[in-house]
Structure 1
Amino acid sequence: MTCPPSQLDIATFAVPMPPIGALEARTELLPKLGDLSIRRPLDRDDELLRLIALSDEAAFRQLVERHVDRAYALALRILRNGADAEDVVQDTLLKIWTHRGSWETGRAKFTTWLYRVVTNRCLDMRRRPQAEGMENLPDIVDEQPDALTALHRHEVNDLLTREMGRLPDQQRVALILSYYDDFSNAQIAEIMETTVSAVEALLKRGRQHLRKHLRRSERDIRQSFTDD
């Protein structure tokens, strides 16, 4: 059964860790950790990564605990499948261990690299035929006087989820990073490896699609509650 983000099994990443090479490297989706060229002050992640480069398993566990929930939340929003989201996050975090020592301290934030890898892996998984079956668990309707209002909210939320799923992958990811993860356009551009102007265009087209289809469909929903 799929665990919620706060209950992901951190023990998955506990000692003893597999030796280097024990997991199949998939470097086609794994940018080199030192590729980000902007120098910046060191932070806690850099300190942990420096220890991880020395095969410090406790430091690796701390790094996982710092980032696993947000990485899982991002993967889940893109994939809408808990099991697939867990696979992406666990694979990505384990690759940090198998590629330990390649991080260059003082460059762009580790979280930018992490979100980039998670996003790329999610998009790769969405392109596979088996990723088309997405699990959506139904909510239980509350049998209270305001149940009709709650049902309407449920319908609108389902509609938003459905329309987000219909967006092209790049538009969808840009909207998720902007609205759910509160990244700036510049940060999104770095994660998606594109320009700020390209991100602005993706967000604009995504918003236009959602506004158009949500307005049309919500009118139908409202009408369904007023018809005799």
Structure 2
Amino acid sequence: MRRRFEGRSALVTGAASGIGLAVAQLLAAQGARQLILVDRDPAALDAVTCDAETVRRCGDVADEALWEGLDLFGLDHAVVNAGVAGASTIAEHDFAEWRRILSVNLDGAFLTVRAAMRAMRGRGGSIVLTASAAGVKAEAGVAAYGCSKAALIHLAKVAAKEGAADRIRVNTIAPAGVETPVWDAVPMFAERAAAIGRDAAFAEMAAMATPLGRYAKAEEVAAQIAFLLGDESALVTGATLLADGGYTL
């Protein structure tokens, strides 16, 4: 495998499972010198294995104290991936649940991007935020999640404009369905998975919603994130890569 991140340092949030874990393992396989892995699940974070020097920090990305105590000196790349899901119509949405989703997905992203940009100031670097096709295409029942991801896309554009003078590139990736544990928090999926199994539930949902007929694997999204982080995309900033199988068409 090409070692295009040889000797570099990268931060990954939500690193203990799904897309974050796949990104961490791919960056390590491609030569990353140091990985700073952040997740709120201590057991899953401790279980992450990758071939790189690893700094692990357990905590809530929306907690400002987490970032004040984390040494990001020499940071080259950041993957702003931590997130939570939820589903409810607006009329029935509990405000505390709205705040929970916005806190992790948007406040946490802001704090992560701010910390990364401060560390990269004067040196350059690249940042990728994991948004979602739900932030591009409106669907009933996902107001908090969709709004948080739409805001991420705009946050990345502002960060890209502000970071350009320091050679900091900021982009987003917006997948549609990805076969990750985040779906387990969505009642519709959880009920269907209990009835017919997770693989069958993913296949059923993808057939209904995605023109290409399947959801992505976490490893596929990780490869796309690595492209946006790497030197091949040196002139790409403020962009959103829709990796949605045609869902938003």
Greater fraction of residues in strand: 2
For the pair shown, the structure with the greater C-alpha radius of gyration is 1
